[in-house]
A and B are shown apart, each in its own frame.
Chain A
């Protein structure tokens, strides 16, 4: 399995080389890996259905439990057939859909294949980290596929919206995964199913993971990215936003459902949000004029339906869910491809402009009818099987009844928008000219027709469908007699509900025009699109506000903050524990007093100096005074260096001051600024002095190193001057570094000062050239 995934991705990476020369070949080559995977998988079906699961593990970063773990079981099989099979068909369809040589085509082939690979990896994943890896890969592919070249602002926004919402969910889900994995001690899904963890952490994980599933599967209130993503080319919508990617969320719920079987925090939100989404999506679909938008809301609705089924956590619901999963993939892919063809050939997909297409494109109309029938849940389509199983799964208890009631309403809406879709696309509308269309080519018709046909075939051959679906459903223990898929169970309540749904749907379809008018008059407080925009705008505002307040751009402020940090953080720690040391003395050597006094006076005078040179001289005096203190301390080497350096510093200042104004340019700032600065500076200075006292009082023994140096200087380093021995021998490496800094500084000074000389020279050259020219 890992091999297949890698093959997809590798071919996708290399495909641009082909796509640059020949886009047609690119799509066909891209179809090869999914085709191979599909063939291999279908060949595996019997073993898998016999309960013989295949597992595979490729370790990546074992230390953090990051592995590629795969497992081919019934659920994975259903999904892989969808992903690979539809992938092949969409790629073949895309080959004819995309105009030759266009940038969109060059970009789309590799991305579609890469997406297929990621999707394949996702559905066979048996490890939470693996799930997340492929999950995010599909998000990225989707972003690039939706945005395409990002020419229009709408496409950019839609792509970004899809990316942000699904990534948000993805990240929350990742958090959930980590919580789950760290609690259970394993990230392996099959192990988690075998030994489901319990407790608060698990509940938290369940909710977090659900958020991820909701965003990806466009559940309320995250649904809006999906209709917005319809700016993408149709094959992409068909594949990503109908058949495969949006299924990832419900697939995840299906996959992890057995772990959280016992968690109400898992089941209740899934069912509640699923139902809400189902109703909302159906309602919106009923009013859309754009066929793609209509289908998109239909998808939202169906995803809600699936969420209910997988989230319910029972055998029968799971059976229905697996069936609907398959059915939806088949009919929705067909419908998108059909709409794509209509769009291509009629130049529009607005149902207010389309008329009489059934007569001109009978084959297309039939294909669409098959798919729409499955969507509406008409027998003998696969959709019917699923829907009936769904109605049957919620018969027990008042909660189940309530769910069933909502499901029926949802199904009515489904029937209604299915009708609206088909009649809108193919029906002849009074007062509207017949739409002129180009004939559809076979390369498009076959990929569109095959899934629709499959929906019919699987519906008729319901035992096969049952076996596929039941393979997954058995991961839940069934309470009573497990349900089975069949076209005819007898006159049962589910049958009645089905009939009710169809009838209701017909009614809704008839009253759709007044209904739309009524809906347009309703206030719309709950607009997810506006909500998204508000949130992003708010984010921008917060970002700008925070940045404007923290990043003030003023160096004095920055330094002030650094100092305040120093005073507040280590300073308070120091103050709390500070005790006056017992051996505190006024001075050690009398000479320290006048020297320190001189230093202090000169330093304070620097603050009051208005002339630059005066300030420099005063600082020089401070330096000489420090040198004097060094001598008193018994550090002649240091004093010598201090004096030399001080003199050079003063001279360097003087060199520069030759060109600078005599006085400091800065006007005295106001008291309101000066006083806080003075307070901060004084506090920081006191902190250092206090720290110096506190820290120096903590040492008891003379340093070993110095004793060692004194002992070894003469024999080991050949020097009686211990300081020199340290500089050139014991710690010679410091000296090497120190001269490196000097070299750097000198080079830097040269680079700064001589820059103006180079500029002058360049200016003169250009002037000369101008004179000559």
Chain B
């Protein structure tokens, strides 16, 4: 049973190794990838059921008790995010395979994509599941390093700059991460998260605050919170659609997850966290305004991504069960929807040959299916009911109003404004891309690169994969009731860290 916790990490890692070794057999790579990700979905579902029903599933690696060995733990939050993430990665893999087969035929293998993609999945899974700060660092590095490779794969001159920005900023934040771990270890002598919860509380107050803030910055860079967000809109948009989709959907959320996990388990806040609320407000507004200034579809979506990170920080800032419930719901919703939108953007670009909004038009007539595939997640992102985004947003608004502080009210108002601006941005995309006169596709700006745009049509697997994600986001809305209940319980677990701590350390105090 407990081995199920390690599968989402070890399986893709082993599969990545095999995939690397079998680089010349394209079909084997594809089947291996789909198979492993499929297994992870099932595994995550079981973990979610088990953790919700019987409490966190804990695996002490190597049989060494916590806090000595490395603990993997699937509680409600991590298994929920794991489930959603694996659905997204699965769908994106289908999309990517479809794209490659459409453009290059079945035989052409791509030696790096599949192993790197599996590594990325392993890293994401590990980040969710690990109960150890240093292991979390390792998880981040697996995830990020494979993302570096994916974003610079077959780079063209246009993309190499983006790859640099991304890689360098991520590396800088990784180095801060290591520094933070060193400080943590220097002061507490442990890196087990559950153990840290008790040990950090014994530190002098000033050190606690400094440490908590440093942690916020380290994960804030990954999560793209303003003012640490700059790198994101400069780098994500250039990558091929499936890569951007996974990045946008998952990587920032892993940052958010780490932020939530550490801020609830290791540090604790007695009341509403005004600094975080302020950051949330700025993030929301700066991101939304950034989106309005863009003419590039992918950049617009990237800025919206930043903006909506603000929502998640908002819930964390409120720091109570309602707020955290909202965050969890929002993360679940946003992973799906943001990934979907980038996939749709990929479909649009294939048709139009460009990402410049001003050069597109009339696509609703030419490609009505894409129009539908865009409209639903777009509305969801804008928080329009009855889609998943609305449910999450409502929970956050309730938390904000319920916080009873002026900051809370201000951020709630900001959230409403952001919602309006998001809708405006989406509606503008709609009016420019899908309405108006039909425009002829622009020629492929770089025919030598791997990405085929402007000429090819989208294949069935690509549409199907996007459709699967759209349906997933609808399903999230449909089952929002039970989902909300689970999220609520997960938020309760977060606020009362005892459950996690007991699950990891046992009933004793960790000896």
For the complex, give the distance between the alpha carbons of A731 and B209 in Å: 29
For the complex, give the distance between the alpha carbons of A168 and B67 in Å: 52
Collect the chain A residues with CB atoms within 8 Å of residue B406's CB: none
Q: Mark A520-539, 1 if CB is under 8 A from B, else 0.
A: 00000000000000000001
Nearest chain B CB to A63 CB, angstrom units:
4
Nearest chain A CB to B178 CB, angstrom units:
11
- Pick the interface stretch among B135-143, B342-350, B493-501: B135-143
Q: Are B213 and A747 in contact (CB under 8 A)?
A: no
Nearest chain B CB to A78 CB, angstrom units:
25
Q: Are B186 and A692 in contact (CB under 8 A)?
A: yes
For the complex, give the distance between the alpha carbons of A174 and B322 in Å: 18
Q: Are A174 and B511 in contact (CB under 8 A)?
A: no
Q: Are B141 and A741 in contact (CB under 8 A)?
A: yes
List A718-748 residues whose CB lies under 8 Å from chain B.
729-734, 736-738, 740-741, 743-745, 747-748
Q: Mark A557-574, 1 if CB is under 8 A from B, else 0.
A: 111011001100111011
Q: Mark A123-149, 1 if CB is under 8 A from B, else 0.
A: 000000100110011011001000101
For the complex, give the distance between the alpha carbons of A86 and B417 in Å: 35
Collect the chain A residues with CB atoms within 8 Å of residue B206's CB: 573-574, 576-578
Collect the chain B residues with CB atoms within 8 Å of residue A65's CB: 398
Collect the chain B residues with CB atoms within 8 Å of residue A661's CB: none
Question: Which residue among A64, A705, A731, A732 has the maximum number of chain B CB atoms within 10 Å of its CB?
Answer: A64
Q: Are A747 and B20 in contact (CB under 8 A)?
A: yes
Contact among A156, A551, A553 with B290 in the assembled complex (CB-CB below 8 Å)? A551
Q: Is B445 an interface residue (CB 8 A)?
A: no
- Pick the interface stretch among A238-246, A432-440, A605-613, A695-703: A695-703
Q: Is B168 an interface residue (CB 8 A)?
A: yes
List B257-303 residues whose CB lies under 8 Å from chain A.
286, 289-294, 303
Residue of A with least CB distance to B325? A63
Q: Are B190 and A705 in contact (CB under 8 A)?
A: yes
List B356-385 residues whose CB lies under 8 Å from chain A.
362, 364-365, 379, 384-385
Residue of A with least CB distance to B176? A566
Q: Are A562 and B152 in contact (CB under 8 A)?
A: no
- Pick the interface stretch among A507-515, A662-670, A751-759: A751-759
A738/B435 contact (C-beta < 8 A), A174-B397, A705-B189 known: no
A698/B203 contact (C-beta < 8 A), A559-B172, A562-B169 known: yes
Q: Are A562 and B221 in contact (CB under 8 A)?
A: yes
Q: Is B62 an interface residue (CB 8 A)?
A: yes
Q: Are B386 and A137 in contact (CB under 8 A)?
A: yes
Q: Mark B483-511, 1 if CB is under 8 A from A, else 0.
A: 11101100000000000000000000011
A546/B448 contact (C-beta < 8 A), A704-B67, A733-B61 known: no
Nearest chain B CB to A555 CB, angstrom units:
5
- Pick the interface stretch among B41-49, B310-318, B332-340, B426-434: B426-434
Contact among A561, A706, A751, A752 with B228 in the assembled complex (CB-CB below 8 Å)? A561
Q: Are A160 and B416 in contact (CB under 8 A)?
A: no
Q: Is B391 an interface residue (CB 8 A)?
A: yes
Q: Are A171 and B480 in contact (CB under 8 A)?
A: no
Q: Mark A180-196, 1 if CB is under 8 A from B, else 0.
A: 01100000000000000
Nearest chain B CB to A321 CB, angstrom units:
27
Contact among A171, A691, A740 with B16 in the assembled complex (CB-CB below 8 Å)? A740
Q: Is A320 an interface residue (CB 8 A)?
A: no
List B123-175 residues whose CB lies under 8 Å from chain A.
123, 126, 134-135, 138-139, 141-142, 145-146, 148-149, 152-155, 164-165, 168-169, 172-173
Nearest chain B CB to A253 CB, angstrom units:
21
Question: Which residue among A150, A163, A712 has the maximum number of chain B CB atoms within 10 Å of its CB?
Answer: A150
For the complex, give the distance between the alpha carbons of A277 and B192 in Å: 65
Q: Are A703 and B135 in contact (CB under 8 A)?
A: no
Collect the chain A residues with CB atoms within 8 Å of residue B187's CB: 695-696, 698-699
A565/B386 contact (C-beta < 8 A), A151-B435, A164-B427 known: no
Nearest chain B CB to A647 CB, angstrom units:
21
For the complex, give the distance between the alpha carbons of A566 and B227 in Å: 11
A751/B189 contact (C-beta < 8 A), A64-B325, A577-B207 known: no
Collect the chain B residues with CB atoms within 8 Å of residue A174's CB: 394, 397, 416
- B-side interface size class: 35 or more
Q: Are B412 and A61 in contact (CB under 8 A)?
A: no
A696/B138 contact (C-beta < 8 A), A136-B384, A137-B385 known: no
Collect the chain A residues with CB atoms within 8 Å of residue B364's CB: 149-150
Collect the chain A residues with CB atoms within 8 Å of residue B480's CB: 60-61, 66
Q: Are B122 and A740 in contact (CB under 8 A)?
A: yes
Contact among A164, A542, A544, A573 with B209 in the assembled complex (CB-CB below 8 Å)? A573
List A42-69 residues whose CB lies under 8 Å from chain B.
59-66
Contact among A167, A692, A737, A743 with B183 in the assembled complex (CB-CB below 8 Å)? A692
A751/B153 contact (C-beta < 8 A), A565-B228, A570-B217 known: yes
Q: Is A476 an interface residue (CB 8 A)?
A: no
Residue of B with least CB distance to A705? B68
Collect the chain B residues with CB atoms within 8 Å of residue A709's CB: 68
Q: Is B461 an interface residue (CB 8 A)?
A: no
A550/B435 contact (C-beta < 8 A), A62-B481, A64-B325, A573-B209 known: no
Q: Is A179 an interface residue (CB 8 A)?
A: yes
Contact among B182, B205, B413 with A175 in the assembled complex (CB-CB below 8 Å)? B413
Q: Is B470 an interface residue (CB 8 A)?
A: no
Question: Which residue among A539, A566, A577, A740 has the maximum number of chain B CB atoms within 10 Å of its CB?
Answer: A740
Residue of A with least CB distance to B169? A558
Nearest chain B CB to A3 CB, angstrom units:
16
Contact among B164, B216, B386 with A133 in the assembled complex (CB-CB below 8 Å)? B386
Q: Mark A675-714, 1 if CB is under 8 A from B, else 0.
A: 0000000000000100110111011011111101100100
Q: Is A540 an interface residue (CB 8 A)?
A: yes
A163/B423 contact (C-beta < 8 A), A129-B394, A573-B206, A694-B207 known: yes
A743/B365 contact (C-beta < 8 A), A160-B428, A543-B289, A566-B176 known: no
Collect the chain A residues with CB atoms within 8 Å of residue B484's CB: 61-64, 66
List A559-616 residues whose CB lies under 8 Å from chain B.
559, 561-562, 565-566, 569-571, 573-574, 576-578
Collect the chain B residues with CB atoms within 8 Å of residue A103's CB: 365
Q: Is B444 an interface residue (CB 8 A)?
A: no
Q: Is B456 an interface residue (CB 8 A)?
A: no
Q: Is B105 an interface residue (CB 8 A)?
A: no
Nearest chain A CB to B190 CB, angstrom units:
6
Contact among B122, B135, B231, B292 with A540 in the assembled complex (CB-CB below 8 Å)? B292
A178/B68 contact (C-beta < 8 A), A543-B289, A561-B228, A562-B172 known: no
For the complex, give the distance between the alpha carbons of A160 and B233 in Å: 26
For the complex, give the distance between the alpha carbons of A558 and B233 in Å: 12
For the complex, give the distance between the alpha carbons of A772 and B233 in Å: 46
Contact among B184, B303, B427 with A160 in the assembled complex (CB-CB below 8 Å)? B427
Contact among A151, A548, A562 with B436 in the assembled complex (CB-CB below 8 Å)? A151
Contact among B70, B172, B188, B511 with A734 in the assembled complex (CB-CB below 8 Å)? B70
A-B contact pairs, 17 of them (CB 8 A): A60-B480, A62-B481, A63-B325, A63-B484, A160-B427, A164-B424, A175-B413, A539-B424, A561-B228, A566-B214, A574-B206, A691-B179, A699-B188, A699-B189, A730-B68, A743-B119, A744-B116
Interface residues of A (CB under 8 A from B): 59-66, 103, 129, 132-133, 136-137, 139-140, 143, 147, 149-151, 156, 159-160, 163-164, 167-168, 171-172, 174-175, 178-179, 181-182, 539-540, 542-544, 546-548, 550-553, 555, 557-559, 561-562, 565-566, 569-571, 573-574, 576-578, 688, 691-692, 694-696, 698-699, 701-706, 708-709, 712, 716, 729-734, 736-738, 740-741, 743-745, 747-748, 750-752, 755, 759, 762
Given contact pairs A555-B165, A577-B205, A577-B210, a sample of 19 additional A-B residue pairs in the complex whose CB atoms are under 8 Å apart = A103-B365, A151-B437, A156-B435, A163-B423, A174-B397, A542-B289, A546-B286, A551-B233, A562-B217, A571-B210, A695-B207, A698-B187, A704-B189, A744-B145, A747-B20, A747-B112, A747-B115, A751-B153, A762-B448
The 9 A-B residue pairs with the shortest CB-CB distance in the complex, in nearest-first order: A577-B206, A150-B435, A703-B189, A748-B149, A737-B138, A543-B292, A570-B213, A133-B385, A547-B293
